[in-house]
Amino acid sequence: MEEINQNSQTSQDFNSDIYKPNNEDDLREIIKYCFKKNLPIEIVGRGTKIRIGKKLQCAKTLDMSNISGIIDYKPEELYITVKAGTPIQTIQNELKKNNQHLAFEPVNFSEIFQKDSNEGTIGGTLSCNFSGSRRFKVGSARDHILGFKGYNGKGEKIKSGGTVVKNVTGYDLSKLITGSFGTLLVLSEITLKVLPLQSDTKTIIISGLGLEHAIEIMGSAISSSNDPSGAVFYPDSLRDNFVFNDLTHRGSITAIRVEGSKTSTEQRINNLIQDLSLIEKNITVLDSVQSEIFWEETRCLKVFSKNQKNILRAVIPTSETINLLNRLKSFHPTYFIDWGGSLIWIELDYLSNQKIEQIRKRILVANGYLTVIKSPENVKLSSEIFTIDPIKFKISQNIKKSFDPKRIFNPGKMYTGI
Amino acid sequence: MTSLKMPKVDRKILKDKEKIVKEIANFTNRKNILSEIEELKPYETDGLSAYKQTPMLVVLPENTIEVSKILSYCNKNKIKVVPRGAGTGLAGSALPLADCVLLGLGKFNKILEKDFKNRCVVAQPGVTNLSITHAVQDKGFYYAPDPSSQIACSIGGNVAENSGGVHSLKYGTTTNNILGVEIVLMDGTVTRVGGKVFDSPGYDLLGLITGSEGLLCVITEVTVKILKKPDTVKAILLGFPTIEDGGNCVTKIISEGIIPSGMEMMDKVLLEATNNFSKAGYPLDAEGMLIVEIDGTKSEVDELIDRVAQIAKQNKCSSIKISKSEEERLKFWSGRKAAFPACGEMAPDYYCVDGTIPRGKLAKVLKEITKLSKKYKLPVANAFHAGDGNLHPIIMFDANDKKSLEKTEKFGEDILKLCVKFGGVLSGEHGIGVEKRELMCEMFNNQDIQQQISIKNSLDPSSLLNPGKVYPILRKCAEEGRLHIHGRDKSKFSDIPRF
């Protein structure tokens, strides 16, 4: 094994509780040191999603925020390569200059956790893989990562993928890393697929639909050749969160978004109104500016930002949504539905371990899965945050071992023992 | 046959063949076990017919429980297993080993569920790619990834190879279009990964399995996403005086924010070859030609086709032809789809290389390929999924001339090295298999490869599932990198379109 040089390679003080590498040499030395000394480390970007997953009791924190910056951006090749600690906002601002964006709309948790404008880093975003309303059309974060470089638990530099979309050259580790909550490796460089921003966005808002009708309409819209890029339902109880000049009707909100050129969005909005027989309904069409605000608020979970309640995330097949919500009635949830019916964000006043398990059971029966996003620390301590079965637990344990044999990266963040 | 180093044959296993047949017959009907040489012969190769190896046995299980029992038995007895779908793969991922059980999934040929409400289809792995679309097209749906062999290739094989097609730029490859799989691990463990929902929690095992070329598990069921067919589809043919102009046009179209559903380029050699073959009406005065396909609502398609035509004009295009009907659009494609058979008309044999490059490097890479063609004195025709950078040079040669074969092999290898040198990868859609195994070190260092191998070991500690594929055995950058079709009439699956 290589000797660790505590003096020349890195400016790190190894006695400090927080390691903050300034470059890859620092990073490598830190990981090698932790590997050698069996020191578990909690990997942190800008801390925006630190409260998702189990609270860690690590001896050390690895603060990645200085490993930041754009390495290579080729708009005509539709990719950008960035350092893992680069803020999402920095990337989006750069892409906007060329009318491009990260199409997977990473969910912005800042409104419900730390209440500031910090949206987190790209490394954190990929590690968590929570994607926005465009999911059913363009995929999630995992579909937009083309390649990466990073360090495994032994401090060895590993790369996978590249800068091209079509690639079958070895296992697709980019996907495996995405959503692994920093338990497999520390990302250092990431190449992302970027896509053109559409010149026009329009949103049909249908007011006052009941849940069943809304689910049916969203399903029909998504299943049509009008190619919507968002379909969300806010029940009546959340209506007051949306104040738009054009929005005069009351009641629940069912919103369907289309994006494209102006002629295209106009035609598709007209098609949708006709195909879904909306002419008799209370409809409003939001223009580009208002649409953007509406979907941005959805991406930020704005309706949950007013209070400090518990938040759960359930993903289920659309066909099960109504049944599930009926079965959850006794918990009196506040909720809204995204992804055209298959993602339910749930807000609850009180949460206990028992309650989580009761809800999880109902979601599992519906062939879906539950993720606890926000809950009191004492509840989190004794609850499963993510859903897993024993077979996949064993597989995951083996995979974890192949990357991080001493379990120094975020141990227990996802599952006890991983 | 070209020589190829494969894992050491276990003589003891071969000696026990009769006993193994008897014991596997406890798990599946005896008639599902093929052990006579004449029964085994059809399985000696996959779509990469340059390599042949008769397996010890072929077993054709009928359900997941049988697969599980067979794998568990093989695991305990240290018998190698090579999974196989339709056997159309072009990289030799399903090449048998002399001492292996070749596990054919051909009897898994049913579509289990069409679920329009959740926009998915649940299919057994042996179902062909195209039959999924056929099963749902009456309701206006289709399955997006469309590898050219879609009439014959199986969906299980598509998952194993992460198959693409001409529409990957807009719709992604297999990995972006599946929701779940049922798998059996080498120790016989059966589990489901994903389902009918997006982004299942925990490690993205679905992403890991897709494109793992049968090294990690056997796939026994696949749930795919289906999409509504677009309203309107139109194609535009653009001729260019130079390949550079065509390449610049591709870059410009993307830079303008247009994502066509398909964007194909052909060079002059291929244009002439295919036009003679299929009379597609291609511009023969052009050095390069683009087929750009746009789909969506009618107004959107018309608008974008106009914009593409404008961009093409600004990039020195010499001819423009827009499809006026569905028949004409299909005619535009007919020449492109005939690329392989057309090359078969021009030379006794041909090799197709599969690599991906950043699309902006197209002109440079093609120039280098032309230089190599001169160096090796072998003609080459270039087909290119320009939209997503996937290059398919087709080298023409005569396999009866041993020197010509050797030169062709070297030529193919040089092209793949070029792809990596220009920032691309070794395979866009055919996979690594045995074909490009030894070239992996062009892209990855030992540490990268070791990490991948340790994942394999964590799921299959004895390395019994499809060993000798994907990862280098020789650990030196050498040998082959191409598909070898020997003679147009004698080729394996010569009736399947390849493009």
* Residue at which a domain ends, from A299, A333, A349: A299
A138 shares a domain with A7: yes
Burial A303-332 (b: 16+ CB within 10 A, else e): bbeeeebbbbbbbbbbbbbeebbebbeebe
A338 shares a domain with A207: no
Q: What number is the average pLDDT over the span B472-499? A: 47
Beta carbons of A175 and B430 less than 8 Å apart: no
A273 shares a domain with A350: no
Residue B491 reports pLDDT greater than 60: no
| pLDDT tens digits, A121-135 | 999 999 999 999 999
A154 shares a domain with A71: yes
A321 shares a domain with A399: no
**33-62 of B, contacting A, C-beta below 8 A:** none
A9 shares a domain with A135: yes
A160 shares a domain with A139: yes
A352 shares a domain with A261: no
Q: Give the nearest chain B residue to A153 (CA atoms).
A: B451
Distance of CA B103 to the CA centre of its chain: 20
A315 shares a domain with A279: no
d(CA B20, CA B34) in angstroms, rounded, equals 12
Count the domains in chain A. 3
Beta carbons of A156 and B140 less than 8 Å apart: no
ipTM: 0.95
Task: Please give the pLDDT value at position B493.
Answer: 52
Residue B488 reports pLDDT greater than 60: no
d(CA A231, CA A181) in angstroms, rounded, equals 28
| pLDDT tens digits, B249-284 | 999 999 899 999 999 999 999 999 888 888 888 999
Lookup: tokens for B126:
């042996």
* Residue at which a domain ends, from A282, A299, A316: A299
Please answer whether residues B123 and B110 qualify as being in contact, where contact means their C-beta atoms are separated by less than 8 angstroms: yes
Q: What number is the average pLDDT over the span A65-69? A: 97
Q: What number is the average pLDDT over the span A276-300? A: 92
Distance from CA of A143 to the nearest CA of B (A): 6
Chain B residue numbers with beta carbons less than 8 Å from the beta carbon of A99 are 257
Would you call A184 an interface residue with chain B, using a CB distance cutoff of 8 Å? yes
d(CA B178, CA B164) in angstroms, rounded, equals 13
* Residue at which a domain ends, from A299, A322, A355: A299
d(CA A365, CA A368) in angstroms, rounded, equals 7
Chain B residue numbers with beta carbons less than 8 Å from the beta carbon of A165 are 168-169, 172-173, 388-389
Residue percentage of chain A with pLDDT more than 90? 85
d(CA A147, CA A206) in angstroms, rounded, equals 41
A397 shares a domain with A286: no
Task: Please give the pLDDT value at position B338.
Answer: 85
Task: Please give the pLDDT value at position A308.
Answer: 77
Beta carbons of A392 and B196 less than 8 Å apart: no
Task: Please give the pLDDT value at position B494.
Answer: 54
User: DSSP state, A198?
Assistant: P
A248 shares a domain with A135: no
Task: Check which CATH number belongs to the domain holding A333 and give it.
Answer: 3.30.70.2030
Please answer whether residues A45 and A84 qualify as being in contact, where contact means their C-beta atoms are separated by less than 8 angstroms: yes
Q: What number is the average pLDDT over the span B18-41? A: 98
A413 shares a domain with A293: no
Residue B490 reports pLDDT greater than 50: no
Domains and CATH numbers, chain B: 11-104 (3.30.43.10), 111-228 (3.30.465.10), 232-337 (3.30.70.2190)
Q: Give the nearest chain A residue to B115 (CA atoms).
A: A319
Burial A277-289 (b: 16+ CB within 10 A, else e): ebeebebbbbebe
Task: Check which CATH number belongs to the domain holding A115 and give it.
Answer: 3.30.465.10
SS (H, E, C) A114-155: CCCCCCCEHHHHHHHCCECCCHHHHCCHHHCEEEEEEECCCC
| Among B272, B199, B184, B282, residue whose Cα is nearest residue A315 | B199
Of A217-221, A244-248, A265-269, B426-430, minimum mean pLDDT range: A244-248
Q: What are phi and psi of B491, to 5 degrees?
A: -70, 155
**18-77 of A, contacting B, C-beta below 8 A:** 74-77
Task: Please give the pLDDT value at position B475.
Answer: 54
By DSSP bridging, strand B218-225 and strand A70-74 are unpaired
Residue A402 reports pLDDT greater than 70: yes
Q: What are phi and psi of B392, to 5 degrees?
A: -130, 75
- Domain housing A320: 307-382
How many CB atoms are closer than 10 A to CB B113? 12
Mean pLDDT of the residues in chain B: 92
Lookup: tokens for A271:
């098609």
Task: Please give the pLDDT value at position A2.
Answer: 42
Q: What number is the average pLDDT over the span A217-224? A: 96
**55-114 of B, contacting A, C-beta below 8 A:** none
| pLDDT tens digits, A247-259 | 777 899 999 999 9
